[in-house]
Structure 1
């Protein structure tokens, strides 16, 4: 008579065999692993990537994608440079800064055709130039991003700057104060407080940097070009699907970030559509996630104009159209 211990051993052996078979099946399916990090906690601004995961689009393109959330304590580009990621999300200016530091990173696609940075004012303001000489709350990081551009384009000066508290409360308490923000976020909180803000999307005034660029190591671009093209294509298809029906992607977003509300998700999607943040620019002609040399050169020119550029740096190393050129998923 067979002992219980022997039966348990046989059962464990069968389980191990089944697990090995499943692993072998996954390998046989030829899915290439990609570890991708976003730039913040899961939100609608990452919706297309979550949609591609939820709808099986990555799997359809032979990819096994892991999405890792960013956050205030996560330096995605540092992790990318260290080989802990395959793809990281970053602002275009961050990629140019990496080139200044001789870090071999390169942007291969851009999620946002329009940078979502905004200046938010109170009702009664109709033109951005009306804010010249008026108090504006900005973060210290703005001193190397949009603030020098505002100074150069609209004659703003440093005497206007007020500390940014990463809260809309100072704005709500002071009708003379304007503040920085993102089109998809801070206006929502302000509207919830009963104020209809005036929102100026800086990209509509010519602010050039790409946002939410997809960045890889240069050696990865050389070694895994086919994998990267499939990743960009699948992500573009995910974005097209998400903007049509965001429910599947939103379910995964809430799973990763339970604090995210349905109301904010809906607002953010609405703003991305309203301002053509994903579907505007070259996306209408070249497809979602596309980039252009002209746009990157305009960003470098902005750095030179505002004296943020460093001499003898080949900024053209910061981007490559080799991958996204073959991807044309129209909105």
Structure 2
């Protein structure tokens, strides 16, 4: 009897009889960079596997339609922004996408100018005689126009990169706090950045999104994925170096030094006194109202329909 019990115990704990991890895909809306560091850390350090998940991280690029990928059932989870969730629900009320975990509590969108210009705030940039490279269709651009009035600065389409910025002291441009400013500084420019969030438009960014169908049919999977992702972010914020080394092999646009600087720069925008990744109804309701005032949405989705905290 004892021998039989020992054999049964061995079979139950044997790797061959262990439960097979659930395969899921996380679609990113950009390439491997520190803004996604916690997800890569969760994969590299075996955190996802510890939670019974085999996660494939799918890199994105400019214009990657992550909301549509979710709605079409191509992936279980994807990175979206709070304003994208609201816009998608306004346009398509079927199989809504919801936010589950927000990496950036303060939006990392910035406008950067040359420090030599001595602009005091973002309004100074808007009312200057220089050039501002920015996508005029972006919600935050329309918000700034609503707040400051018609800009005096010459607004030109955003072309990406920092070459124009480096060649013209009167040139300002949109950017991501972990990307363009660091690239410009590495090239020798003295940069001053202005967070758009400080002007009152502050959507959650790098948000894990999933559809209502996934939430209702696979609630345990969702809980495991969010819990593991949070654990990965805690690990990455504590020590990002090994994960940065891995991401640097995937994204050759930045060297390891830039990866490490970006991880430091973004940290204050991610960590708060609240639970990592958590969101509030007030923030969501404010954003809905702002988008409604900008006439970017026709309906007013309720905050509780837009997100869930885990």
**TM-score normalised by L of structure 2:** 0.87
| Equivalent runs, 1:80-91 vs 2, <5 Å | 80-91=70-81
Aligned counterpart for 1:146 among listed residues 115, 140, 145 = 140
SS of the residue aligned with 2:181? Answer: helix
For the residues of structure 2 that align with 1:191 and 1:235, how far apart are their CA atoms?
A: 31
SS of the residue aligned with 2:202? Answer: coil
Q: CA deviation at 1:25?
A: 4.4
Q: Which residue of 1 aligns with 2:5?
A: none
Does residue 1:319 correspond to 2:309, yes or no? no
SS of the residue aligned with 2:137? Answer: helix
Does residue 1:61 correspond to 2:55, yes or no? no
Counterpart contact for 1:99–1:317, Cα < 8 Å: no
Q: CA deviation at 1:156?
A: 4.5
Tell me how large the CA RMSD over aligned residues is.
Answer: 2.3
Does residue 1:111 correspond to 2:103, yes or no? yes
Unaligned runs of 5+ residues in structure 2 are 1-10
Q: Which residue of 1 aligns with 2:286?
A: 298
User: Structure 1 residues 120 and 260 mapped into 2: Cα distance closer, same or farther (>3 Å)?
Assistant: closer
For the residues of structure 2 that align with 1:26 and 1:242, how far apart are their CA atoms?
A: 31
Does residue 1:128 correspond to 2:122, yes or no? yes
Q: Which residue of 1 aligns with 2:186?
A: 192
For the residues of structure 2 that align with 1:26 and 1:88, how far apart are their CA atoms?
A: 31
Q: Which residue of 2 aligns with 1:13?
A: none
Q: Which residue of 2 aligns with 1:212?
A: 206
SS of the residue aligned with 1:99? Answer: helix
Q: CA deviation at 1:174?
A: 2.0
Counterpart contact for 1:99–1:318, Cα < 8 Å: no
Counterpart contact for 2:80–2:208, Cα < 8 Å: yes
Counterpart contact for 1:122–1:197, Cα < 8 Å: yes
Q: CA deviation at 1:110?
A: 1.0
Counterpart contact for 1:96–1:318, Cα < 8 Å: no
Q: Which residue of 1 aligns with 2:132?
A: 137
For the residues of structure 2 that align with 1:27 and 1:147, how far apart are their CA atoms?
A: 55
Q: CA deviation at 1:113?
A: 0.7
Counterpart contact for 1:108–1:319, Cα < 8 Å: no
Q: CA deviation at 1:27?
A: 7.2
1:216-238 CA distance string (max 9 Å, x none): 11110111122111211111111
Q: Which residue of 2 aligns with 1:75?
A: 65
For the residues of structure 1 that align with 2:41 and 2:150, how far apart are their CA atoms?
A: 41
Counterpart contact for 2:31–2:61, Cα < 8 Å: yes
For the residues of structure 2 that align with 1:27 and 1:78, how far apart are their CA atoms?
A: 37
1:182-226 CA distance string (max 9 Å, x none): 100000111122111110111133222111111111110111122
**TM-score normalised by L of structure 1:** 0.82
For the residues of structure 1 that align with 2:104 and 2:154, how far apart are their CA atoms?
A: 29
User: Structure 1 residues 225 and 41 mapped into 2: Cα distance closer, same or farther (>3 Å)?
Assistant: same
Q: CA deviation at 1:47?
A: 0.3
SS of the residue aligned with 1:214? Answer: strand
For the residues of structure 2 that align with 1:138 and 1:100, how far apart are their CA atoms?
A: 29
Q: CA deviation at 1:248?
A: 2.8
Q: CA deviation at 1:255?
A: 3.9
Does residue 1:230 correspond to 2:218, yes or no? no
Q: Which residue of 2 aligns with 1:40?
A: 30
1:16-36 CA distance string (max 9 Å, x none): xxxxx9xx9477325322211
Counterpart contact for 1:232–1:289, Cα < 8 Å: no
Unaligned runs of 5+ residues in structure 1 are 1-20, 327-331
1:244-288 CA distance string (max 9 Å, x none): 111232233234334442022012101112xx11113xxx22x11
SS of the residue aligned with 2:106? Answer: coil
Bigger drift between 245-254 and 178-187 goes to: 245-254
Aligned counterpart for 1:288 among listed residues 250, 267, 276 = 276
Q: CA deviation at 1:165?
A: 1.9
